Amino acid sequence: MKLAMPVYQNKLAPRFDCAEEFLIIDVGSGRVGERKVLRCRSDYPLERATMLADSEADVIICGAIDQYSNRILSVKGKQVYSWQSGEIEDIIDKFVTSQYGAAIPP
């Protein structure tokens, strides 16, 4: 399973639509694997959402997200946990240890 998060200074970016990069992490069986950064080359939120929707990520954990971006991700089968905040490593630990509940619906 691949987890994606918009990142800003080692924290979850407060707004999905302003994030310049996303951290994509391979997580599975309670372990954290390969990490890579996906850089966003567009300032347009819909292009950012489409780029991430077309990525290998299965789950997106983010802060604030507009309904249209959330819908684009959901239609592509991505599970979205929105309105989250905190340090990236703490969020990864919570996810790997199954401390996240149901995704926020679009």
pLDDT band at residue 99, thresholds of 50, 70 and 90? low
In a domain, 89, yes or no: yes
pTM: 0.86
Question: Does some domain include residue 102?
Answer: no
Query: In the prediction, which pLDDT does 95 show?
Result: 86
Task: Give the count of domains, the chain.
Answer: 1
Residue 106 lies in a domain: no
Is 101 a residue whose pLDDT tops 60?
A: no
From 43, 50, 55, select the one nearest 17 (Cα to Cα): 43
List, for residues 7-31, the tens digit of each pLDDT value: 999 999 999 988 889 999 988 766 7
Cβ–Cβ < 8 Å for 56, 33: no
Residues spanned by the domain of 53: 2-96
Could you identify the residue written with the tokens 């401390």? 99
In a domain, 26, yes or no: yes
39-76 tens-digit pLDDT = 988 888 888 899 999 999 999 999 999 999 999 999 99
What gap in Å lies between CA 97 and CA 16, rounded to an integer? 24
Q: Is residue 101 part of a domain?
A: no
Nearest CA-CA partner of 104 in 75, 81, 74, 71:
81
Q: Residue 105 domain-assigned?
A: no
CATH code, 27? 3.30.420.130
